[in-house]
């Protein structure tokens, strides 16, 4: 079982056998139904807890929402959770204890509680799009490892993925792009599908946080409604990955109003208290050349374009606050003049020239979700981010400053999908490496061999159930195998860019080459590799 139980386990006399078809149950019906379904049983809900074999109820004790206790006796089991999330987690532990052919386990009492309240995974549905059923399959697998947040990246340059009834061109135009071979690629989740996914996740202890990335990464929105951009010029939805100059105009009042209406619509689908506003990688050329944006800077006494981004984001943050929502932004939020103190930062820092602007996370009181690139970016191949690198990752900023655990609400595994084309590639990149993040969020350890043995048991279960994954050997390559994998990945990436557009990936990198790697590689190839292999 991953994460391993971290808490008290008291063994008792006797064995509990799960009834073979119908089970008398009492308490949290949706969560119990999920549990029974996983074990191919049917719940029969009772009026009184005394009549039930399995009871699952909320009993708050002032711990993290995911905390639970389990009391397994010969004839009955009681699951108590801090909140519904804890009830789900207790039922997940019971599921693993009973998932042998005998469907039995020894009597015992367990108290278990996570170290961190946020144990997340991000799915990028924009670069590549998975059908709703496959999103649910990923949620199911992550729930079985007691993860509790899906950060769902639903708007980016390459596609807008939520059905909008208010702004239909977001789907008519913004959800589709032309691929280099002339085919049309895309799709979006209907509002009905989204509601169904949100319910499915909640019944498994997972809340969904939608992300509408702004003001950059908005080419798809601007393609749909060109007036959202500074000069209203027509653009198409791009297929290339990268960073695009197109950006929402921060000088037009109509854009602020558009964003508010869109937030209204998206909030109506996602009940969780948090909303992710993105805020990463927003080039400012258009703003520099836009009279309206420049007027906004002057009229609001702003120090420049970075401050204009803070101003723009605050319109959305303040608006969401009136709807009772709190916000998350990528760490670029800290680059501007002012980001409200209750905005949760998702730390991923990429650009070494900007080191220093995230010090609030290490030295102040700013709370973050920790997702440092590339260690938490599991779309990177294991050659770059091997299992052991994730397992041994440290809570440090990119410049080495330690982040105190009081400032870390938890960890998130990110699955950007430029190169994750389908469910199988998502799952193979995720499993087993995400286990290290699930484990870290519950309670981190440093016994790698022991952790690998837990992974092996879990992967065996996945294989028996036909769920795609990588073996430990594939997920943790060493020596020449690792270097070969990285070189081959690099070359395939570069040939994609050469065929389809400018090879921007490696341009900025020219560092020294260690002899071991010299061979026939070009310096920029080697420096890309060094950058991504270093911790």
With respect to Zn ion, which residue has the nearer C-beta, 105 or 313? Answer: 313
| Residue 293 near Zn ion by CB under 5 A | yes
Q: Cα–Cα–Cα angle for 488, 492, 498, nearest 5°?
A: 140
Distance between CA atoms of residues 413 and 402, nearest Å: 20
| Residue 244 near ligand ACM by CB under 6 A | no
Q: Is 263 in contact with 320 (CB distance < 8 Å)?
A: yes
**Count, residues near Zn ion per rule CB under 5 A:** 6
With respect to ligand ACM, which residue has the nearer C-beta, 139 or 282? Answer: 282
| Residue 265 near ligand ACM by CB under 6 A | no
Beta pairing partners, 408: 368
Distance between CA atoms of residues 154 and 129, nearest Å: 10
Q: How far is the CB of 348 from ligand ACM (least distance, A)?
A: 5
Distance between CA atoms of residues 277 and 344, nearest Å: 11
Q: Is 268 in contact with 530 (CB distance < 8 Å)?
A: no
Distance between CA atoms of residues 218 and 78, nearest Å: 49
Strand, helix or coil for residue 190: coil
Rg of the chain on CA atoms, in Å: 24
According to CB under 6 A, which one of 330, 347, 415, 431 is a site residue for ligand ACM? 330
For 377, the enclosing helix (H) or strand (E) is none
Nearest position to ligand ACM, beta carbon: 280
Asked whether the CA dihedral 337, 341, 344, 348 is positive or negative, the reply is positive
Distance between CA atoms of residues 239 and 157, nearest Å: 8
Here the tokens at position 231 are 């000069």
Q: How far is the CB of 251 from Zn ion (least distance, A)?
A: 4
Site string (261-290) toward Zn ion, x via CB under 5 A: -----------------------------x
With respect to Zn ion, which residue has the nearer C-beta, 227 or 264? Answer: 227
According to CB under 6 A, which one of 115, 281, 335, 422 is a site residue for ligand ACM? 281
With respect to Zn ion, which residue has the nearer C-beta, 292 or 423? Answer: 292
Looking up tokens 């804890």, which residue turns up? 86
With respect to Zn ion, which residue has the nearer C-beta, 292 or 443? Answer: 292
- Nearest by Cα to 99 from 28, 43, 41, 53: 41
Q: Cα–Cα–Cα angle for 201, 206, 211, nearest 5°?
A: 90
Q: Is 533 in contact with 486 (CB distance < 8 Å)?
A: yes
- Write out the binding residues for Zn ion, residues 492-511 only, by CB under 5 A: none
**Count, residues near ligand ACM per rule CB under 6 A:** 4
| Residue 18 near Zn ion by CB under 5 A | no
Q: How far is the CB of 216 from Zn ion (least distance, A)?
A: 13
| Residue 152 near ligand ACM by CB under 6 A | no
Distance between CA atoms of residues 64 and 67, nearest Å: 6
The binder of 330, among Zn ion, ligand ACM, none, by C-beta within 5 to 8 A per type, is ligand ACM
Counting Cα atoms < 13 Å in the Cβ hemisphere of 234 gives 1
The binder of 348, among ligand ACM, Zn ion, none, by C-beta within 5 to 8 A per type, is ligand ACM
Q: How far is the CB of 281 from ligand ACM (least distance, A)?
A: 5
- Write out the binding residues for Zn ion, residues 206-265 only, by CB under 5 A: 230, 249, 251
The binder of 281, among ligand ACM, Zn ion, none, by C-beta within 5 to 8 A per type, is ligand ACM
According to CB under 6 A, which one of 280, 359, 360, 418 is a site residue for ligand ACM? 280
Residues present in the chain in total: 535
The binder of 205, among Zn ion, ligand ACM, none, by C-beta within 5 to 8 A per type, is none
| Residue 302 near Zn ion by CB under 5 A | no
Q: How far is the CB of 345 from ligand ACM (least distance, A)?
A: 11
Q: Is 395 in contact with 411 (CB distance < 8 Å)?
A: no
Q: Cα–Cα–Cα angle for 78, 149, 423, nearest 5°?
A: 105
The binder of 290, among Zn ion, ligand ACM, none, by C-beta within 5 to 8 A per type, is Zn ion
With respect to ligand ACM, which residue has the nearer C-beta, 265 or 280? Answer: 280
| Residue 348 near ligand ACM by CB under 6 A | yes
The binder of 117, among Zn ion, ligand ACM, none, by C-beta within 5 to 8 A per type, is none
Asked whether the CA dihedral 442, 443, 446, 447 is positive or negative, the reply is negative
The binder of 249, among ligand ACM, Zn ion, none, by C-beta within 5 to 8 A per type, is Zn ion
Q: How far is the CB of 278 from ligand ACM (least distance, A)?
A: 8
The binder of 54, among Zn ion, ligand ACM, none, by C-beta within 5 to 8 A per type, is none
| Residue 418 near ligand ACM by CB under 6 A | no
Distance between CA atoms of residues 461 and 25, nearest Å: 26
Distance between CA atoms of residues 322 and 313, nearest Å: 15
Strand, helix or coil for residue 406: helix
With respect to Zn ion, which residue has the nearer C-beta, 56 or 228? Answer: 228
Here the tokens at position 43 are 């719940």
Q: How far is the CB of 365 from Zn ion (least distance, A)?
A: 34
Strand locations in 322-367 (E): 326-330, 344-347
Please give the residue ranges that form the binding site for Zn ion (CB under 5 A). Answer: 230, 249, 251, 290, 292-293
Please give the residue ranges that form the binding site for ligand ACM (CB under 6 A). Answer: 280-281, 330, 348
């Amino acid at each position: 079982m991953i994460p391993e139980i971290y808490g008290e386990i008291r063994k008792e006399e006797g064995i509990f056998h799960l009834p073979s078809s119908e089970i008398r149950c009492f308490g949290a019906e949706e969560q119990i139904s999920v549990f029974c379904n996983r074990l191919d049983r049917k719940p029969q809900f009772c009026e009184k807890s005394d009549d039930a074999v399995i009871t699952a109820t909320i009993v708050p004790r002032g711990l993290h929402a995911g905390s639970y206790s389990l009391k397994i006796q010969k004839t009955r089991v009681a699951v108590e959770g801090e909140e519904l999330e804890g009830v789900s987690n207790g039922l997940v532990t019971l599921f693993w204890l009973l998932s042998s052919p005998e469907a039995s386990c020894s009597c015992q009492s367990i108290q278990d509680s996570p170290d961190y309240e946020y144990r997340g995974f991000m799915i990028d549905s924009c670069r590549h799009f998975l059908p709703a059923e496959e999103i649910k399959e990923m949620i199911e697998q992550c729930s079985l490892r007691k993860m509790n947040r899906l950060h769902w990246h639903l708007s980016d340059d390459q596609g807008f993925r939520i059905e909008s009834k208010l702004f239909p061109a977001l789907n008519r135009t913004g959800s589709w792009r032309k691929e280099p071979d002339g085919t049309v690629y895309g799709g979006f989740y209907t509002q009905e599908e989204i509601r169904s996914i949100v319910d499915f996740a909640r019944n498994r202890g997972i809340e969904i946080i939608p992300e509408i990335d702004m003001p950059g990464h908005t080419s798809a929105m601007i393609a749909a409604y060109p007036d959202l951009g500074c000069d209203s010029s027509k653009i198409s939805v791009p297929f290339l990955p990268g960073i695009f100059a197109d950006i929402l105009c921060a000088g037009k009042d109509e854009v602020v109003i558009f964003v508010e209406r869109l937030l209204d619509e998206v909030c109506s689908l996602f009940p969780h208290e948090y909303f992710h506003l993105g805020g990463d990688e927003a080039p400012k050329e258009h703003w520099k050349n836009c009279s309206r944006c420049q007027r906004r800077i002057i009229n609001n006494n702003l120090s420049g374009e970075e401050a204009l981004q803070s101003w723009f984001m605050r319109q959305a943050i303040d608006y969401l606050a009136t709807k009772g929502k709190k916000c998350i932004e990528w760490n670029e939020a800290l680059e501007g003049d002012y980001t409200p103190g209750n905005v949760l930062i998702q730390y991923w820092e990429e650009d070494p020239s900007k080191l220093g602007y995230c010090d609030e996370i290490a030295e102040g009181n700013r709370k973050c979700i920790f997702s440092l690139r590339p260690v938490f970016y599991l779309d990177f191949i294991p050659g770059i981010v091997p299992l052991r690198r994730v397992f041994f990752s440290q809570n440090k900023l990119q410049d080495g400053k330690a982040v105190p655990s009081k400032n870390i609400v938890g960890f998130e595994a990110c699955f950007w999908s430029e190169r994750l084309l389908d469910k199988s590639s998502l799952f193979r990149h995720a499993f087993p490496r995400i286990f290290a993040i699930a484990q870290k969020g519950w309670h981190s350890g440093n016994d790698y061999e022991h952790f690998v043995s837990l992974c092996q048991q879990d992967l065996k279960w996945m294989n028996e159930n036909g769920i795609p994954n990588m073996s430990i050997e594939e997920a943790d390559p060493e020596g020449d195998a690792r270097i070969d994998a990285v070189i081959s990945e690099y070359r395939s990436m570069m040939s994609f860019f050469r065929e389809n557009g400018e090879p921007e990936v490696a341009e900025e990198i020219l560092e020294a080459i260690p002899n071991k790697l010299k061979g026939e590689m070009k310096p920029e190839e080697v420096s890309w590799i060094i950058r991504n292999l270093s911790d």
